[in-house]
Amino acid sequence: MHTRTRRTSLSLLSFALALSLAPLAHANDAQAPDGPRALPGSLPLIPAPAKVERLDGAAFNVRASTPVWASGEAAQRVAGQFTTLLRNSGGPALQITPGRGTHGIAFVLDPSLKTGAEGYQLRSQGNGATVRAATEAGLFYGAATLSQLLSGGSNGVLPALRIDDAPRFSWRGLMLDSARHFQSLDEIKRVLDAMAEQKLNTFHWHLTDDQGWRMEIKRYPKLTAVGSCRIPAGDGGRDPVTGAERPYCGFYTQDQIREVIAYAAARHIQVIPEIDVPGHATAAIAAYPELGTLDTPLKPLSEWGVFPNLFNTEESTFQFLENVLEEVITLFPAKYVHVGGDEAVKDQWEASARVQARMREVGAGNEMEMQSHLIKRLETFLEQHHRRLIGWDEILEGGLPPEATVMSWRGTDGGLKAASEGHDVVMSPVTDMYMDYLQTPSDNEPPGRPLTTPLGRVYGFEPVPDALARDKQQHILGLQANMFTEHTRSYARLQHNLFPRLAAVAETGWSPRERRDYADFLARLPSQLQRWQAMGVAYAQTPFQVELDSHDDRKAGTATLALRTPLNYEVRYSTDGSPVTAQSPRYSTPLTQPLPVTLQAATFFNGQPLASAASRFELSATSLLSRNDQQLAMCPGEGKLLLRLEDDGPADGERAIFNVNIFNPCWLWKDADVDGIARLHVRAGQIPYYFQLAHDEPQRTFSPARSAHGEMDVLNGRCDGTPLATVKLPAKPGADGFITLDAALPRSVKGTQDLCVRFTGDTRPTMWVLDTLTLVPR
Ligand code: ACM
């Protein structure tokens, strides 16, 4: 639905900055998808299997009475998981029978098979289907494949076939940030279920950050007693009636962590804990101030961005970290322990005489080498405990022990360098693998960075760089999607961000490179949507909705309506108020319609509607004179930090969302028809500036204010030169948080032209945002 949440009251807004500023050059240039096109013989499976052979012979019809056979504890366990998954995916409820019959479905664990650590074989013909594997993990993945074949619209009809399957990569991961926002155990388990269904096998759990320490450590109880609560910025952190602080808290007890690990292990998912050092450490330092470098006390932070607070470099702090890791490795059986290492701006270390003295003591020539000294120390500790260190690619700076594994997030160059030097690498570049980025240009996206990382871009990511020498390619362990949660207050948003993009990650992680085909993937995706619906996975609607670009001809009283949908599925529409069905007219070229008009449109694949409701647009001569920030472009210029920000209140429930460029609050109406337009009305609001941008803050530019509180300037389409109109801004907006500014346009402004609206002045700690821009006729 083309709806937009607009609260009338806006007092304070909180910003959510999705971490580092380094990779902002991320282009908004996802390859335009061609749309769905099934390859010959394609089966509705995601990820696509390595090898499928269709056989002559009768199909096997699975019904509720079809027996499921399994011998031995492990095979019976997998058979049980299969029947549960199939039922949850919308397929029939089957019963397990111990032993082996001649008809039905059979699971066979046979260690003599050459199916590898995670591979399996699936054979089906008229009287049954058999899954065989050498390992329980392989059998489990065969069960996942069979469940997909029998659900998602297949009606339980299994063609005669042979599948020989095994994954391309051993690391097929998802990182979840439980520090910025906290997820319940139940939510985490549902994510693990969805991962397993897609054959993902690594859950990287980001448990500590500036805004919260979320893991119980018995030896240091204040880490959670103090470090697990923050006071959300602005309205969200206050009781609306009393004004009292409303903390946002949450941590996982060690018992709960064991429960998550066991739940994941049953689904063949390893859980990798992350304890982030030496930066992203504010919550820990708030709990134990002696770990930091400052004399002033800190609190877990309520703002987003990059902060200067680092662990200090005392021996006692290293000991603390080792003690924490000792509890971590006692809990987590995984081979890898993640120690972060990202975004540790070294200002505090540079300013601290004690750190400088310690650097001389340990022989570190600069702060990078000091960080490297710490990482090596933790690496040695982990090695002694038979674990391996993994960290973000910054750990390469200042030197790295050869056993360390690098997670490449600032693009793939760090991963390329690390693999070339012989380190193992997991690729998770911010440009392709960050699920906190928006996935479409739709109004209906949740907050996040408005630079989009659409499904096609995620799908197109290739983890093995072309430039990597052949003999080093085995160092690429795989890939990982990262889900940072500054913007992700709810489980609904988390699901929106993860699905369907996680399916693309899963396919890249599992399927052979030559089997990956985006158009075919799109043809397989609608079956997966049906499974997700059955499983209760609330995948993002936006990729399956219809967007409208309208162009009005005010003199003729008509609008030309161009429809698009992000993934190029078939679009059908109605303009007469009737519901859109698979029989409605199919959209191909822009429609010219007299105003007013109600347009409804929806996407379909093989007659199946893909979104839960049709998109609906009501257009009139009046509505076409207004645009909101979302429908406007950002102004040209330097330093683009585009964010999609939400109001900081209410504490629970819906909040207004705005698109802003915090480096340049300026919006552009392209091709505005300004003939006969006398004035512009701009509804604007003021929001707080809740960012820490570290060394990037000076990049923020302000057009200088020319009066006490700055101005709203209306400029030409290049947003330069003498303003066409100017309105002085008040100190504050009105009681509802908004103000409507009225600017008279000179008569010389006519025809069709671009109009730019910008706010001047350094208004920190607040800034102006544009809500709507309305053209007012003479
Ligand atoms: C990261 O995004 N700072 C790893």
Ligand 1 pocket: which residues have CB below 6 Å? 19-20, 342-343, 392, 409
Quick one: 598 and 679 in the same domain? no
Atom of ligand 1 nearest to the CA of 20: 3
80 assigned to some structural domain: yes
Bridge-based pairing of strands 248-249 and 229-230 is antiparallel
State both tokens at 213.
């320490």
Atom of ligand 1 nearest to the CA of 482: 2
CA distance linking residue 37 with residue 41, whole number of Å? 12
Establish whether 280 is a catalytic residue: yes
Contacts of 59 (CB under 8 A, 6+ apart): 126, 157, 158, 159, 160
From ligand 1's centre to the CA of 323, what distance in Å?
Answer: 25
Whichever domain contains 656, its CATH number is 2.60.120.260
Which of the listed residues 165, 187, 209 is the one where a domain comes to its end?
A: 165
State both tokens at 481.
């999607």
Choose, from 136, 165, 276, 343, the residue flagged as catalytic: 343
Q: What is the pLDDT of residues 109-139, one digit of tens each?
A: 999 999 999 999 999 999 999 999 999 999 9
Write down the residue that tokens 């009005």 correspond to.
Answer: 552
CA distance linking residue 742 with residue 725, whole number of Å? 10
CA distance linking residue 703 with residue 692, whole number of Å? 21
State both tokens at 527.
């079956």
Side-chain-side CA neighbours of 57 within 13 Å: the count stands at 16
- Read out DSSP for 232-248? -SGGGGB-TTT--B--E
- Which of 392, 393, 437, 480 should be mutated for ligand 1, with most atoms under 8 A from CB? 392
pLDDT of residue 24: 32
pLDDT less than 50: residues of the chain? 1-33
Q: Report the nearest-CA residue for atom 2 of ligand 1.
A: 19
Quick one: 232 and 125 in the same domain? no
In the chain, the number of structural domains is 4
pLDDT of residue 646: 81
Burial environment of residue 708 by CB neighbours within 10 A (0 to 12, 13 to 18, 19 or more):
exposed
740 assigned to some structural domain: yes
Choose, from 204, 280, 338, 475, the residue flagged as catalytic: 280
pLDDT of residue 21: 33
Distance in angstroms between the alpha carbons of the first and the last residue of the chain = 33
pLDDT of residue 732: 87
In terms of residue numbers, what domain contains 552?
Answer: 546-610
pLDDT of residue 640: 62
Cut 0.85: pTM above it? yes
Residues 199, 222 contacting (CB under 8 angstroms): no
CA distance linking residue 384 with residue 381, whole number of Å? 5
Establish whether 496 is a catalytic residue: no
pLDDT of residue 641: 66
Quick one: 576 and 631 in the same domain? no
182 assigned to some structural domain: yes
Quick one: 156 and 177 in the same domain? no
Atom of ligand 1 nearest to the CA of 342: 3
Quick one: 160 and 207 in the same domain? no
43 assigned to some structural domain: no
Atom of ligand 1 nearest to the CA of 343: 3
36 assigned to some structural domain: no
From ligand 1's centre to the CA of 177, what distance in Å?
Answer: 10
Quick one: 248 and 373 in the same domain? yes
Quick one: 306 and 425 in the same domain? yes
Residue 422, CA distances (Å) to 170, 171, 429, 541 in order: 17, 17, 19, 42
Residues 425, 418 contacting (CB under 8 angstroms): yes
Which of the listed residues 104, 135, 165 is the one where a domain comes to its end?
A: 165
Which of the listed residues 585, 610, 635 is the one where a domain comes to its end?
A: 610
Quick one: 184 and 216 in the same domain? yes
Residue 166, CA distances (Å) to 49, 121, 134, 156, 270 in order: 7, 9, 12, 24, 18
Residue 527 DSSP label: H
pLDDT of residue 461: 98
Write down the residue that tokens 């499976």 correspond to.
Answer: 45
Residues 163, 51 contacting (CB under 8 angstroms): yes
28 assigned to some structural domain: no
45 assigned to some structural domain: no
From ligand 1's centre to the CA of 19, what distance in Å?
Answer: 6
Q: What is the pLDDT of residues 218-273, one digit of tens each?
A: 999 999 999 999 998 877 888 888 989 999 999 999 999 999 999 999 999 999 99
Q: Dump strand ranges (E) for 245-322.
A: 248-249, 270-277, 304-306
Choose, from 165, 177, 209, 367, the residue flagged as catalytic: 209
pLDDT of residue 158: 96
Q: Dump strand ranges (E) for 729-777.
A: 738-744, 752-759, 766-777
Quick one: 152 and 254 in the same domain? no
Bridge-based pairing of strands 725-728 and 766-777 is unpaired
Give the DSSP H/E element, type plus range, for residue 306. strand 304-306
18 assigned to some structural domain: no
Crossing angle between the packed helical segments 185-197 and 518-535, to the nearest 10 degrees: 140
Quick one: 595 and 679 in the same domain? no
Contacts of 627 (CB under 8 A, 6+ apart): 669, 772, 773
Quick one: 499 and 556 in the same domain? no
Quick one: 155 and 184 in the same domain? no
Side-chain-side CA neighbours of 699 within 13 Å: the count stands at 16
CA distance linking residue 757 with residue 404, whole number of Å? 50
Whichever domain contains 520, its CATH number is 3.20.20.80
